[in-house]
Amino acid sequence: MTSPARKISVVPDLPSVEVSDDLALDLYYWMTLTRAVEERALNLYRQGKLPGSYYTGRGQEAIAVGIALPLVRGEDGDWLSPWIRDLGSYLVHGVPVWRIFAQFMGKAGSTTRGKDGNLHIGGREWNIPCQVSHMADMIPLTVGAALAYKQRGEKRVAVTSFGDAATSRGDFHEGLNIAAVLEVPAVFVAENNGWGYSTPISKQTKVTDLHRKAAAYGIPAVSVDGNDVFAVYAALKASVDAAREGGGPQFVECKTYRMGGHAAHDKYESYMPMEVLAEWSDKDPIKRAEAILLEEREITEARLESIRERARDEVRQAVEQAEDDGYPDAAEAHQGVFAETAD
């Protein structure tokens, strides 16, 4: 049924990686699910059903999914600390869809029991620490997790992703430098989408090829087309493998474009060039994957449609479950400042 695995070689520096048709369809499924969740959530937000702000990673699904699929899931698996554009990473790494809707809605079933919102999703069961708003803060934490694995001799890796603007922060620098010196199994993924809120990358840094920044730490780095899910997957797989096998920290830059506002309320039309947006729209990662699956892999349209259908179903059920879920009790606000036990 599936054709033989294909070797994907994104960059000469990395070994090539096999992507079977099953895996290719998996990548497609997760991207499709990610977009379906986000589209539905955006509707809910517009209906006033989601408190707080709403961020989407539309157009960056290849990165979100490609980062997470090479990783081992579960509490004893790999640490994954995704950026706010990476809903797909949370999904792939194990967070149930309905809990993500519950999170957006601030319901009791939220991974934070309503205490935090939007993509601040996490839980020990998935080995996803809950990101903080402060950009780049999660980088040193990820280095610390990788250190723990190295100290205990476990073959686990710790992965984190962040936007281009986060590379301006001191914690990016301190984290990467320490990771390099301690030679820990950490993988850093920079999502270069050209913007940090209303600020273009040219005002963020003079070195807009972010993988070049890794050289300052002696960390091997590659740059890939972030709208090509196979390329992202292959780069991550190779980097994660290298880190897992004792190769020390790795850096992957994914080049892409922010396909809209910083958040749903952002009037990006006033500052983003529409023609560039249109160009990137043609590079949509899901459309591109579809073309490859249909044309190069000779997967049938019917099969793709069944995958899309599955994703839509899951979203429907998840939204229902989240809507049925209650809000936390007010008493919850007082709980959990301190841990009773660490285990």
Ligand X SMILES: Cc1ncc(C[n+]2csc(CCOP(=O)(O)OP(=O)(O)O)c2C)c(N)n1
Contact call for residue 198 and other proteins (CB under 8 A): yes
Q: What residues are labeled active site?
A: 258, 262, 271
In the bound state with other proteins, the residue whose beta carbon lies nearer, of 84 and 238, is 84
User: Both tokens of residue 207?
Assistant: 């070195």
74 contacts: CB under 8 Å, gap ≥ 6:
94, 125, 126, 127
Beta bridge partners of 200: 195
Q: What is the DSSP string of 196-264?
A: ETTEEHHHH-S--SGGGGGGGGT--EEEEETT-HHHHHHHHHHHHHHIIIII--EEEEEE----S-SST
Contact call for residue 110 and other proteins (CB under 8 A): yes
Q: Which stretch binds ligand X (CB under 6 A): 25-33, 104-112, 160-168, 246-254?
A: 160-168
Restricted to residues 19-48, the positions that interact with other proteins (CB under 8 A) are none
Binders of ligand X: how many residues, by CB under 6 A?
15
Give me the amino acid identity at 43: N
Q: Which stretch binds other proteins (CB under 8 A): 17-25, 252-260, 309-317, 330-338?
A: 330-338
Question: Residue 203: which of ligand X, a copy of itself, Mg ion, none does it interact with, CB under 5 to 8 A by kind?
Answer: a copy of itself
User: Both tokens of residue 24?
Assistant: 């290719």
Question: Residue 29: which of Mg ion, a copy of itself, other proteins, none does it interact with, CB under 5 to 8 A by kind?
Answer: none
Q: Do 141 and 81 meet the contact criterion of CB atoms below 8 Å apart?
A: yes
Binders of other proteins: how many residues, by CB under 8 A?
76
Among 3, 51, 197, 287, binds ligand X (CB under 6 A): 197
Contact call for residue 58 and ligand X (CB under 6 A): no
Contact call for residue 327 and other proteins (CB under 8 A): yes
In the bound state with Mg ion, the residue whose beta carbon lies nearer, of 114 and 196, is 196
Question: Residue 207: which of ligand X, a copy of itself, other proteins, none does it interact with, CB under 5 to 8 A by kind?
Answer: a copy of itself
Distance of closest approach, residue 85 Cβ to ligand X, in angstroms: 5
Among 27, 135, 143, 221, binds ligand X (CB under 6 A): 135
Contact call for residue 253 and Mg ion (CB under 5 A): no
As a whole number of angstroms, the distance between CA 53 and CA 45 comes to: 8
Q: Which stretch binds ligand X (CB under 6 A): 61-69, 113-121, 132-140, 234-242?
A: 132-140
As a whole number of angstroms, the distance between CA 330 and CA 258 comes to: 38
Among 46, 134, 203, 316, binds ligand X (CB under 6 A): 134
Please state whether 74 falls in left (phi above 0), alpha (psi between -120 and 50) or beta: left
User: Both tokens of residue 274?
Assistant: 């529409």
In the bound state with Mg ion, the residue whose beta carbon lies nearer, of 28 and 257, is 257
Contact call for residue 226 and Mg ion (CB under 5 A): no
Restricted to residues 60-119, the positions that interact with ligand X (CB under 6 A) are 85
User: Both tokens of residue 104?
Assistant: 């957006």
Cβ density class 105-127: b for 16+ within 10 Å, e for less:
bbbebbbbbbebbbbbbbbeebb
What ranges make up the beta strands (E) of the chain? 6-8, 17-19, 79-81, 158-163, 186-192, 195-196, 199-200, 221-225, 250-255
Q: Contact letters (x/-) for other proteins, 144-173, by CB under 8 A?
A: xxxxxxxxx-----x------xx-xxxx--
- The footprint of Mg ion (CB under 5 A) covers 163-164, 193, 195-196
